[in-house]
Amino acid sequence: MTKPARVRVAPSPTGDPHVGTAYMALFNKAMADTTGGKFVLRIEDTDRARYVADSEAQIFEALAWLSLNPDEGPEGHGGPGGPFGPYRQSERLPLYKEAADRLVKEGKAYRCFCTSDRLDTLRKIQQAEKSKFIGYDGLCRGLSKEDVAANIAAGKPHVVRLKLRQDNEIQTSDLFRGQINFIGAEQQDPVLLKTDLFPTYHLAMAVDDHAMGITHVIRAEEWIPSLPIHFELYRAFGWDAPVFAHMPLLRNKDKSKISKRKNPTSLLWYRDAGFLPEALKNFLGLMGFSLPNDQEFFSYAEFLQHFELTKVNIGGPIFDLQKLHWLNGEYIRKLSDAELEARLVEYVQHLMHREREFADLPEDQLPQETFLRDFEQKRRRWSRTLGGLAPELMTSFEVNPALLKPIMPLIRERLHTLCEAADYLPMFFTNRFEYTREMFVPKKQTPEGAVAALKAARDIITAADFNDPTLKEQLDNEFRTKAEAMGQKIGPFLGPLRVALTGSTVSPPLVESAMVLGKEETLHRVENALKFLG
RNA sequence: GGCCCCGUCAUCUAACGGUUAGGAUACUGCCCUUUCAAGGCAGCGAUACGGGUUCGAAUCCCGUCGGGGUCACCA
């Protein structure tokens, strides 16, 4: 067993909680839990321009939904607090200022008075000249003490930049990839402290990770290019650097970094779409990691039993919603009737109380990839259906808590996501169907045959005793016998009855559904249909 | 474009330097079937390419190609 690791996930509250945050949270938490360490949540709210007020609360909620709660983190929203707080960077501003000042005093950083305009122009010129080096030219490095003092006296705004070594190789390392070297001269002096006295990511990360005793920085691969900054920062401060481990980036189907346009990225979306948190977590655990013996299903506890950070596969995995869809179906099938019912009730309540359609892109911005687009369109339709059904369902449910129980076995194996219940649930709560004549006439069936079959079915149901324990077998047999007598196949024979009872050509098993509806309601629906067919 | 990372079926992945390169999703076919599912069986399908090292390479080395990330007073 290795030493207890202190790890963290550090999202910035700039929008919907991101699936990548959950991915990092999972592996960080696993690292903490397998070493007896601590998993810290730090809110990186240093960009006041992109700050979104309720984002932090949603991050908490999303992590809680996935049971990826931090051991330490900001207080509020049920956050745990902890001995290394505050855990919001906006509440730690003096620390960064102090750290930056220290580096300036020691000559390891300097004040830069260059304007954004100058920087933009500089960059444009470099790009126009096809310069290999694109970035800050270090103009203010050479400013004398007097110049700096004069500029400050004149009230010129400034930033603090780290004086990066420009001569030799900057050696960095990554747990998975080993040593990674960068040429100092190819790096630009990064901004540490912004004009508004907020730190940039680099400064805040180094100061906080050091102050919070972080031992392993497990973060996304996109940070590798800033490794020289981070190593040089630690060196400038004279601190030991933590172990850096850069996880592969989750990808879109086209292998680019996962993005909202091409894939759902919001955890709220996954919840809205009816994915189970344990399925999503399992799926995320499959990204870049595998358990022995081809084990694909695992609880978090099982994940921990086999988790080893060094076993991570660093090839960037494509986030395949289709496989998640399958996996989620497997998880749903494992739920007991009572559990599935509870999940559905919770889910429907969630839909009912939510204030907006989360992650709702305009139609023309839906993902191009067929499966994703179809899935999102269905999701919206399902969502609307269930949303509309919700008040009625919840009321009936409160009146009769046993209501859903008999339905669960009929729909469980038909669901991949909870929202797909919209295909099967409404028929048990309403008989106002919008069917068409065509729906009553399946393939290998005629309009006359359909009416005849429906009437025959009505007679059989009328004669049936719904209290008889062998009702199902009886109805099965009688339908079959009658169909045969009428020269019809059982499928086309029952088609019209299916539409009459369920309002759809697709439904849970018919006889069982009729039994849930009861004799009176079943006959009522058949009569309605016959009336409709004239 | 510079720098950096990565490269096993379409996708997620397995394989002490020795396997007919395994499993799963998806897809296809058959079976089951009262629609839709679920389930069962089967099929399709990969070591990017070229050089080395080695008795032997998916595995080690080099090159090429391909993909990705990054080049902000965003994280």
Tens of pLDDT, residue by residue over A414-435, are 999 999 999 999 999 999 999 9
pTM, two decimals, is 0.95
Q: What are phi and psi of A264, to 5 degrees?
A: -70, 130
The answer to whether the beta carbons of residues A212 and A42 sit under 8 Å apart is yes
ipTM greater than 0.85: yes
Q: What is the pLDDT of residue A396?
A: 87
Confidence of residue A402 (pLDDT cuts 50, 70, 90): confident
What is the crossing angle of helices A337-353 and A370-399, to 10°?
Answer: 100
- In percent, the amount of chain A with pLDDT more than 70 equals 98
Hunting for tokens 């399902």 — which residue is that? Answer: A382
The answer to whether the beta carbons of residues A18 and A58 sit under 8 Å apart is no
What is d(CA A115, CA A93) in angstroms, rounded to the nearest whole number?
A: 23
Q: Which nucleotides of B are covered by protein (CB under 7 A)?
A: 1-8, 11-14, 22-26, 34-39, 67-75
Hunting for tokens 């990554």 — which residue is that? Answer: A174
What is d(CA A278, CA A327) in angstroms, rounded to the nearest whole number?
A: 10
What value does the mean pLDDT of chain A take? 93
Cis peptide upstream of residue A225 (ω within 30 degrees of 0):
no
Answer yes or no: is A145 CB < 7 A from strand B: no
Answer yes or no: is A506 CB < 7 A from strand B: yes
Q: What is the mean pLDDT of residues A44-66?
A: 95
Q: What is the pLDDT of residue A310?
A: 94
Lowest-confidence pick of A247-256, A356-365, A492-501: A356-365
What is d(CA A534, CA A190) in angstroms, rounded to the nearest whole number?
A: 79
Catalytic positions of A, written as ranges? 260
Answer yes or no: is A126 CB < 7 A from strand B: no
CB neighbours of A402 closer than 8 A, spacing ≥ 6? none
Q: What is the pLDDT of residue A63?
A: 97
Q: What is the pLDDT of residue A356?
A: 59
Confidence of residue A481 (pLDDT cuts 50, 70, 90): very high
On the question of pLDDT at A355 being above 70, the answer is no
What is d(CA A424, CA A365) in angstroms, rounded to the nearest whole number?
A: 29
Q: How far is the CA of A190 from the C1' of B72 (A)?
A: 10
Q: What is the pLDDT of residue A45?
A: 96
Lowest-confidence pick of A37-46, A277-286, A361-370, A458-467: A361-370
Confidence of residue A400 (pLDDT cuts 50, 70, 90): confident
Phi-psi region of A216 (alpha: psi -120 to 50; beta: other; left: phi over 0): beta
On the question of pLDDT at A12 being above 60, the answer is yes
Answer yes or no: is A318 CB < 7 A from strand B: yes
On the question of pLDDT at A106 being above 70, the answer is yes
Q: How far is the CA of A418 from the C1' of B31 (A)?
A: 29
Q: What is the pLDDT of residue A359?
A: 53
Confidence of residue A78 (pLDDT cuts 50, 70, 90): confident
Q: What is the pLDDT of residue A534?
A: 80
Q: What is the pLDDT of residue A248?
A: 97
The answer to whether the beta carbons of residues A413 and A341 sit under 8 Å apart is no
CB neighbours of A87 closer than 8 A, spacing ≥ 6? A40, A41, A42, A43, A72, A73, A74, A79, A81
On the question of pLDDT at A210 being above 60, the answer is yes
Report residue A299 as tokens: 């609880």
A443, A452, A515, A441: which is closest to A483 by C-alpha?
A: A452
Tens of pLDDT, residue by residue over A261-314, are 899 999 999 999 999 999 999 999 999 999 999 999 999 999 999 999 999 999
What is d(CA A492, CA A190) in angstroms, rounded to the nearest whole number?
A: 72
A515, A507, A427: which is closest to A475 by C-alpha?
A: A515
Residues 271-310 of A with CB under 7 A from strand B: 286-290, 294, 296
Tens of pLDDT, residue by residue over A433-479, are 999 999 998 888 888 999 999 999 999 999 999 999 999 999 999 99
The DSSP bridge partners found for residue A172 are: A180
